[in-house]
Amino acid sequence: MTKLARVILSFFLFVIITAIPPVLLIYTGHANWLVPRFWLIFFFISMLTFITVFLVNFVGKINYSLYTQTFLAATTVKILAAMFFALFFLMKIKPNNGIFLVNFFYVYFLNIAFEIYGLLCTLRNQKLK
């Protein structure tokens, strides 16, 4: 299995694992702990993370010396896109602010943690070679 295929597979496994707690909230009758259209937030942030991870690994495969710079640039674009998304979401949907913060940062910080974990694994593998 190629490195890129392994990263994509691990990303989809990560998305499935992070989707389990919200699904459990819905099926146990605690759907009020999720904002309306939670899955829109979840899939938007996950899509941004997938694009970031794919782009960084693709550029790293072409020119490894640009790996870290690409990661930083993609993460900056991702945080800006997420902030604009949150702004438009709050203006359009008008959810409970506390619940929105918890839901948004649950998805956002776990996705950032996945990106950083991928970066650390890649840099650690480079040191071993």
Write down the residue that tokens 């693709």 correspond to.
58
pLDDT at 125: 60
In a domain, 129, yes or no: no
In a domain, 128, yes or no: no
| pLDDT tens by residue, 35-80 | 999 999 999 999 999 999 889 888 888 888 888 888 899 999 999 9
In a domain, 107, yes or no: yes
In a domain, 73, yes or no: yes
Domain span at residue 22?
Answer: 3-123
| pLDDT tens by residue, 12-33 | 999 999 999 999 999 998 888 9
In a domain, 104, yes or no: yes
The answer, as to whether pTM is greater than 0.85, is yes
Write down the residue that tokens 């309306």 correspond to.
36
Structural domains in the chain (count): 1
In a domain, 83, yes or no: yes
The residues, ordered by sequence, that sit 6+ positions from 3 with a Cβ below 8 Å of its Cβ are 57, 61
In a domain, 11, yes or no: yes
